[in-house]
Structure 1
Amino acid sequence: MALCNRVTPEGAIIADPARGLLTGNRGILHGGPRPRLWRNRAWITCRLAFRGHRQPLQATGTWTPLFFLDEAVALSAGHRPCALCRREAWERFRTAWTDAAGGPVPRAAEIDGALHAARIVPRRGTKVTFAAGIADLPDFAFLRTDDGPAMVFGKSLLPWTPAGYGAPLPRPAHGEAEVLTPRPTVEALRAGYHPFLHPSAGA
């Protein structure tokens, strides 16, 4: 039976047997009367194993592993690279974030605070989205379609499934989209951050 530990581009946590390429966490989600969506603001993405260690799936008293198809999905859900096990990706992400936002290089806690405000509606816990011209979105941003989340990829939209991306669809040349990827992360993508993609994306 699949555990409820797979994360969608919407930020929801679901049960699915497909395996992801990255893990990560939002703190300790199990152990209370019911699972939590998050416990802290540091939503990170990690390697599946680091220095020979793999996090147990349901260990008590420690962080709860979550799994993502790839990094574009994790970014859409509101996560960012881990500064320890994915140091090189973290440095690239923070550089792109700084280039987009201007000002001094932010600390991790500052990025986490900005991401939390851009991904979760206060007191409701629902996903923050925003409208943008579909032609102006950078590659790797996710948007909401009538058939589910899809990733912008060149002239195409790649429909997401837990097991991989579906057949490419034409990217409309006009109109607005409901964007799932948090706005500051979209700007980091626009500034040049390139996430780690699942092979089904064809990258």
Structure 2
Amino acid sequence: MKDMTASSGRTNRVTPFGRLEASRSRGAFLGNRGDLHAPDGAIRRTHAVKFWICCTLEETNGQRVVFDTPGRYTPLFFWDEAVAMAAGHRPCGQCRKTAFRGFKQAVNRSKGLPDDHFVSVKDIDAEMHASRLDEQGHQRRYRATAAELPSGSFVTFDGDPDTPHLLWEGKAHPWTHSGYGTGAGYDRSREVVVLTSRMLVETIKAGYVPLVRFPTASP
């Protein structure tokens, strides 16, 4: 077993495109998509289950040691929760109970239902899976006017398709594994490519606010 809480060259850091890459930067949240190991122990699959969750790195004693063990789940890491949501993950219902409760309420509100309407986790995960991946298993993206999107959404701009930007309080912040660059204003009437799934954009609009990890990255 290998302790994965320290910096690593493993391809277990998740981008807003949903890709798994190697990075020495530490993440603030832990992710789970099931066991992604190949028989040789390398991480070769993008997902093994439909429940993609975003967990805390801490337990009640203030410390969680994460082990990368083939045959169990493969620990993934996100810079912050906005990245996790862009990649298609929801709050964990066990280690982040309060966040998950608020998430479910926002999912209900996005559909015009009462906050306390019962919806099963299985149904949420099935809807999220259909919303985040297309028929070829690629991230399902769409175009929208920037003004339609809430703070916490990830987008790319035409002319710079390889740089994901977080829209936050009227500014677009370029993302790297080391954090966010300096935010800049943007034309709200401009069309953008949206990385955060439609379902999660609507959930954010309905009141769920992903945790964003500032300060910005060093130049």
> Structure 1-normalised TM-score?
0.93
Residue aligning to 2:101: 91
**Correspondence for 1:43:** 52
Distance (Å, rounded) in 1 between the aligned partners of 2:151 and 2:121: 24
- Answer 1 or 2: which has greater helix percent: 1
- In structure 1, the partner of 2:89 is 79
Q: Quote how far apart the aligned CAs of 1:155 are.
A: 1.5
Preserved contact between residue 88 and residue 128 of structure 2 (Cα < 8 Å): yes
- Superposed displacement of residue 170, structure 1: 1.3
Separation (CA, whole Å) in 1 of partners of 2:127 and 2:65: 29
Aligned partners of 2:189 and 2:209: how far apart in 1? Answer: 24
2:188 counterpart of 1:177: no
Alignment length (residue pairs): 200
Distance 1:105 1:184 in 2: 18
User: Take 1:173 and 1:142, find their aligned partners in 2: how far apart are those partners?
Assistant: 14
* Deviation at residue 77 of structure 1 after TM alignment: 0.4
Q: Which residue pairs with 2:177 in the alignment? A: 162
The residue aligned with 1:131 is 143
In the TM superposition, structure 1's runs of 4+ consecutive aligned residues that sit over 4 Å from their partners are: none
| Partner in structure 1 of residue 65 of structure 2 | 54
SS at match of 1:157: strand
* CA-based RMSD: 1.6
Shift in Å, 1:201: 5.7
Name the stretch that deviates more: 143-152 or 71-80: 143-152
How high is the TM-score relative to the length of structure 2?
A: 0.86
Choose the corresponding residue for 1:152, options 167, 171, 175. 167
Residue type of the partner of 1:77? A
1:154 deviates by 1.6
Gapped runs of 5+ residues in structure 2?
Answer: 1-7
1:116 to 116, 126, 129: 129
Amino acid of the residue matched to residue 145 of structure 2? G
Q: Which moved more, 1:93-102 or 1:63-72?
A: 93-102
Gaps of 5+ in 1: none
1:23 aligns with 30
What's the % identity of the aligned pairs? Answer: 37
